[in-house]
């Protein structure tokens, strides 16, 4: 397996990275927002309910 940062052979101790340095570089990229995971599309209706203090179906059931 090769290190996803520098492409050297990975080291069992730092797997999948070759060193602590490359592991830290990867962590910095995650924390800096360079990587992202896909998520659901932004729902404006949900944001409006959240601003009004409503949390979803549980709140609707309480009103009935």
Per-residue pLDDT tens digits for 6-63: 999 999 999 999 999 999 999 999 999 999 888 887 766 566 666 666 665 665 555 5
The pTM for the full model equals 0.57
DSSP β-bridge partners for residue 2: 9
Question: Out of 3.90.1150.10, 3.40.1380.10, 2.40.10.10, 3.30.50.10, which CATH number does the structure's domain 1-36 have?
Answer: 3.30.50.10
d(CA 46, CA 43): 5
pLDDT at 37: 86
- Residue 34 confidence (pLDDT): 94
Name the residue among 29, 7, 34 with its Cα closest to residue 16. Answer: 7
Is 5 a residue whose pLDDT tops 90?
A: yes
pLDDT given at position 7: 97
Task: Retrieve residue 25's tokens.
Answer: 């570089």
């Amino acid at each position: 397996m090769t290190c996803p940062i520098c492409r050297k052979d990975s080291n069992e101790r730092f797997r999948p990275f070759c060193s602590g340095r490359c592991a830290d570089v990867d962590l910095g990229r995650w924390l800096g927002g360079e990587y992202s995971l896909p998520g659901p599309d932004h729902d404006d209706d949900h944001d409006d309910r959240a601003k009004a203090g409503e949390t979803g179906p549980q709140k609707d059931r309480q009103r009935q």
